Amino acid sequence: MATQPLPNKPKRGQNKPQIVEKPTTKDWVKPQAIAIPKEGYFQLEKGRYGPVFPQTPACYGFSVVGKVKPGREQAIRDYGKNIEEAVKADPSVLAPLKLHYLRWVLFDVGSGLHFMYQGIFDTDFDKYIEDAIEIFNQSGITTVFTNLEGWPSDWRTNVPAVAKFFREHQFPSFLEYGEYPFVSADEVKKALTLKAAFSSMLDQMQ
């Protein structure tokens, strides 16, 4: 379940690996698609806990897959309800994560029950993990990942161990598409707020 190893440095006489440039045009009116190399990045750049995964037209994100501990399926489903209730009680509880979307999936293809956590967000991979742990520590909420095999028992105080788990269980996408590329969640909300203000103003002018 580990991510792909970093490419080996070419030996003398061998062709150097081709460097694929990541997109730099951040024009939200032009939909963009981008194919991502197998490693999950275009060129190696070290972050705090490993390679930096790039921002794409769909912003940042990851797909983490882990095996569920025996008998924990209902606990995971219950945890989804806990998040629903937490957001109802405080709509800003997950705000530091700068999320666009979360999608949780339970599945079994013959090798036992697995859990997939897919997220799209505006911060980088490592900051998302740091912010998530801080939220859990401040709120007292227990993360759903405690129901997965290999999750570090000292996760509340051991950020590098959590980052290691996420990276080892991360499956980088090889294609990402944005209908309105590189637009942040805050920009979307500002645009909708402005739209609502204009609609209200036009209604008053009639």
pLDDT of residue 200: 80
pTM: 0.81
pLDDT by residue (tens digit) across 152-201?
A: 999 999 999 999 999 999 999 999 999 999 999 999 989 889 888 888 88
Where exactly are the structural domains of the chain? 32-205
Q: What is the separation of C-alpha 187 from the centre of its chain, rounded to a whole number of angstroms?
A: 18
- What DSSP assignment string belongs to 16-58? PPPPPPPP----TTS-EEEE--TTSSSS--B-SSSBPPPPBTT
pLDDT of residue 7: 41
Q: Mean pLDDT across the stretch 113-134?
A: 96
Phi, psi dihedral angles at 125 (to 5 degrees): -55, -50
Mean pLDDT (the chain, rounded): 88
Locate all alpha helices (DSSP H) within the chain, ordered by sequence. Answer: 73-89, 125-139, 159-168, 185-205
- The length of the chain, given as a count of residues: 206
Across 11-15, 54-58, 70-74, 196-200, least confident range? 11-15
Residue 29 has pLDDT above 50, yes or no: yes
Residue 6 pLDDT exceeds 50 = no
